[in-house]
Structure 1
Amino acid sequence: METNIKTVHYLGSKARMLPVIKEYVDELNSVNGKVCDLFCGSGVVSEFLLQQYDILAVDIQNYSSVYCKARLTGGIPGIDIKQIESEIRNLPIRKKNLDYYKELLRYENKCMKDLVDGHLEPMYEIIEKGSLYAYLGKYDYIEGAMSSELEEAFTDVKNRIGTEAESVDSAVTRYYGGLYFSFKQAIDIDAIAAYAFLQDEPLKSKVLAALMGATTDVVNTVGKQFAQPLKVRNADGTLKKNLSKKIKADREIDVFEKFNIWMHYYTERPQNRHAFEVICDDYINVLKKLSPGEVEVIYADPPYTRYHYSRYYHILETLCLHDTPKISTTFPNGKGGLSRAIYRNDRHQSPFCIKSKAPKAFDELFKYAQKAQTSIVLSYSPFDEKSGATPRLMSIDEILAIARKYYTDVEVVSPGQFMHSRFNRQDNNYEINYEAERLIICRK
């Protein structure tokens, strides 16, 4: 089995558990039947298991479908990645955006030089208040007046782009530039996305997956996720001096350099001996459509905390949809200004992350899997109060009780100690620090 699976920094990644997951899938799959990766996320489990089984990869998020298509589709022989980079760099839309944003780029470069010299305020203001989307739409974002220099740079952009102020080809720059990336990085991300949507499959998915990898590599946040921009102030309002090195390091990363590394990975994948299908849909819709015996084993890794995965990957979703989404507000009634993270208004809300809905979600998972006559390997990370991790919405005993309504042979196994990604190291925040992994095995 190939174990050189290149992974992105992903919440609760199962990369280190791949051999263990496969061990239990093998035990339940004596007939070498199809395996369903029901919440496939970044696609590493599907990619690993595809070496031995036909795979059905399922996730409701579009970015996940793109990851899986890129991972599961064989490589593209003879592709010239440097030529692709050259074509993207020379796209008319990229050159146009570099011109439209040139005054803002100039000002940002000045702020970076000030940062190196120990003058933090200008660059920190870009991270804190530099939402061009909010400025152009006259939305409330961060309280407090914007500096005259930043406002002048924004006004210059507004005057230059004119009727193209809502173009999809500068969406990342308008929505997330300054906050998550340098504006130069955002322009390059937009250009690569524009190129991807000019291509046919499989190149389109491989370019988008490589772009998502690069975007994750360059994003200027704690833990390389997209839940929110950096918080540049301490509780007393003073600027966090210790962030300056990280800001400089992240924002000087070349998007194309990272993109090329990921492109080599996705375009050099081995050709598959097994079949696969990628479905972008809700888990329950897919389960209800499964015919008895169509799938032999389901691997399920649903979320367990109140934090929806979509909050960590909303920018990747925007890249893969290539749209200009409406942005959610602080409060559902539209008051309170834009969400600080610039979340999509249609961000998926998983029932597994809602306390009142989680029991039913698990019940339906087990019920319809049993109807489809499949065995289940379900990942679960129990809550340890000492760890400071986010509490689970359901206990392992509660999940087992539901599983045993539909399966007579249910057991919990402890494959070993696994520490998952900790996206934010502040206690009681977004910590995902599991002391151990459990696998719930349901034998049909």
Structure 2
Amino acid sequence: MLSEAPQSSLLMAYEYPHYIKYMGSKSKIMDFVINGINQVYAGGTILDLFAGSASLAGALRSQVPVHSNDIQEYSAVLAQAYLTAYKGKNVPTADELVQKAERIAKKHLHLITDDFQYKDIESLQHFNDVEESNRKLIELDFNHDYHLFTKNYAGTWWTALQCIWIDAFREVADEYKGKPVYPVILTSLMYAMAYTSQGTGHYAQYRDAKNIKSMKDIMIYRRRDLTHYFVRKYNDALIDIPATKTNQKHITTSLDFVDCLKSFVGGTVYADPPYCFVHYSRFYHAIETLVKYDYPELQIKGGKLVKGRYREGRHQSPFCIRTKVSKAFRDMFEGVKSTKSNLVLSYSKNGMIDMDTVEALAVEVFGKDYTLDMVSTDYKHMTLGRQGDRHRDVEECLVLAKHK
């Protein structure tokens, strides 16, 4: 049984702002996770090996050095917003950022003709005609920079108008690249995108209006003002981030987990690998593209553009592939052991492999050099509409490995 962490423990779960909707986020059980870390933590850096939405970085904040890693680059930006962002001098206000974005957006509003307008909708057919007009912007050649979302995603999760604003804010963000507030601008934009998106919280596939009920629901998001959500989150973030640079030596990387462990000098590793067959790169490709802003080739199947408009060459995690998951666990355990680090592994009893197999692999790899323990708790796991049931009961397990 997991004992209470010592009263003198350095680590506790700080409150932190949430920037995106994220499947499998551990925010609901952060106290449980950090209590597990407290059982093995013996000083040094804490490596969050599969950081995802960087909730652990948010919870730990300035308490200890954190190395936040995930092969998806959006995760590093989220971690930087929690760990290394600060106000500094001449931090822009939300109004200043909106004014700059507005000057850019106004140059391109001529694209929004009556065919693109979500007003005075008379029927389901009328609505879907407007949707299709928005989507046809992908066929247009643009003669200005920062048009990626307007071209690729109009009429999908966002309207053409919302995409013009996304591109405008992204251009404004780059004016502050290298500044301590840069990740906060980007993550506030991620937030605005999440809460104006007509999807269920991820970007695997956008919804089609198949009846009046679904049309009315989609229309709610089509009419949302992206700037409103950006301003709200950015102002909240400015209250949250410190005025000056932190003294902690935080690190953010976007590495494969094996390569990250090779570069880790040792401490405590927190590992929360994906545990189902779906790849997170599919669900969050849109914010990965926002961060990279690299005008990617979009996936084609059968000569047609894939509805989800996914990036070509998305990362495929071995933890999501049944024939590779056992080796992935072995590689991870061996990587931890090679640095003589302690480990806290989060995994589900509903995962790709059973906990008995995970335990057996841990015992085999860590051997007599480590003490091993396993604890569990029950919580509601957010699926964000992936399987129809919005929440499922999941028994989360922590495997604790402490170097002797």
TM-score strictly above 0.5 = yes
Q: Which residue pairs with 2:169 in the alignment?
A: 192
Equivalent position SS for 1:211: helix
2: distance between equivalents of 1:336 and 1:377? 45
Distance 1:348 1:82 in 2: 37
3-state secondary structure, aligned to 1:423 = coil
The aligned counterpart of 2:362 is 403
* Structure 1 match to 2:107: 96
Structure 2 residue identity aligned to 1:107: D
Q: CA offsets per residue over residues 102-145 of structure 1, 9 Å max, x none?
A: 32xx2232x4421xx4x1123234546853355x1xxxxxxxxx
Out of 1, 14, 36, the residue aligned to residue 26 of structure 2 is 14
Partner residue of 2:116 out of 101, 105, 108 = 108
Percent identity for Structure 1 against Structure 2: 26
The separation in 2 between residues aligned to 1:397 and 1:128, in whole angstroms, is 50
1:253-402 equivalences in 2 (<5 Å): 253-268=224-239, 269-270=241-242, 272-290=246-264, 294-330=265-301, 335-383=302-350, 392-402=351-361
Q: Are 1:413 and 2:384 an aligned pair?
A: no
CA distance in 2 between counterparts of 1:35 and 1:347 reads: 27
In the alignment, which of 399, 423, 430 is matched to residue 384 of structure 2? 423
Instruction: State the one-letter code of the partner of 2:101.
Output: I
CA distance in structure 2 between the partners assigned to 1:282 and 1:126 by the alignment? 42
Shift of 1:212: 0.7
Match of 1:150 in 2: none
CA distance in 2, matches of 1:406, 1:260: 49
CA–CA distance in structure 2, aligned partners of residues 439 and 251 of structure 1: 41
The equivalences for 1:137-152 within 5 A come to: none
Deviation for aligned residue 1:394: 1.2
- What whole-Å deviation, never above 9, does each CA across 1:205-258 have from its counterpart, x for those lacking one? 22111111111111011x2210101033xxxxxx22221232121111111111
3-state DSSP of counterpart to 2:56: helix
- 2:214 corresponds, among 243, 257, 268, to 243
Contact 2:54–2:78 (8 Å) recurs in 1: yes
In the TM superposition, what is the alpha-carbon distance from 1:282 to its structure 2 partner? 0.9
1 CA distance for matches of 2:129 and 2:278?
28
C-alpha displacement at 1:363, in angstroms? 0.7
Q: Which one-letter code corresponds to 1:245 in the other structure?
A: K
Equivalent AA in structure 1 for residue 198 of structure 2: N
Asked if structure 1 preserves the Cα contact closer than 8 Å seen for 2:15 and 2:59, the reply is: no
Whether contact under 8 Å (1:74, 1:267) holds in the other structure is no
Gaps of 5+ in 2: 1-11
SS of residue in 2 equivalent to 1:436: strand
Moved more, 12-21 or 432-441: 432-441
Instruction: Summarize the alignment of residues 31-70 of structure 1 with structure 2, pairs less than 5 Å apart.
Output: 32-70=43-81
Closer, same or farther: CA 356–432 of 1 in aligned 2, 3 Å: farther
Q: Deviations over 1:137-171 (max 9, x none)?
A: xxxxxxxxxxxxxxxxxxxxx4xxx552xx55111
**Alpha-carbon separation, structure 1, partners of 2:283 and 2:133:** 20
1:311 partner amino acid: R
Q: Provide closer, same or farther for how the CA distance between residues 74 and 174 of structure 1 changes in structure 2, counting only shifts above 3 A.
A: closer
Counterpart secondary structure, 1:231: coil
Report the Cα distance in structure 1 between the residues aligned to 2:142 and 2:167, rounded to whole angstroms: 18
Q: How many Å separate the matches in 2 of 1:180 and 1:169?
A: 18
**Is there any run of 5+ residues in structure 1 with no aligned partner, and where?**
137-157, 233-238, 384-391
Evaluate the alpha carbon distance shift between residue 129 and residue 411 of structure 1 in structure 2; reply closer, same or farther with a 3 A threshold: farther
When residues 168 and 280 of structure 1 are mapped into structure 2, their CA distance, relative to the original with a 3 A threshold, is: farther
Kindly provide the amino acid, as one letter, of the partner of residue 326 in structure 2: P
What is aligned with 2:402? Answer: 443
Return closer, same or farther for 1:12/1:426 CA change in 2, 3 Å cut-off. Answer: closer
- In structure 2, C-alpha distance between the alignment counterparts of 1:199 and 1:363, rounded to whole Å: 42
Cα drift, residue 204 of structure 1: 2.3
TM-superposed deviation, 1:35: 0.4
Distance in 1 between residues matched to 2:145 and 2:381, nearest whole Å: 35
Q: Contact 1:50–1:274 (CA<8 Å) still a contact in 2?
A: no
Match for 2:75: what amino acid? S
What amino acid is the match of 1:191?
A
Contact 2:150–2:167 (Cα < 8 Å) also in 1: yes
Normalized per residue, which structure has more strand? Answer: 2
Written as runs of structure 1 = structure 2, the 5 A alignment for 1:101-180 is 101-103=111-113, 106-109=114-117, 111-114=118-121, 117=122, 119-127=123-131, 130-132=134-136, 134=138, 136=139, 158=140, 164=143, 168-180=145-157
User: Helix, strand or coil: the match of 2:216?
Assistant: helix
Compared CA separation, residues 163 and 185, structure 1 to 2 (3 A) = closer
Q: 1:324 to 1:74 in 2, by over 3 A?
A: closer
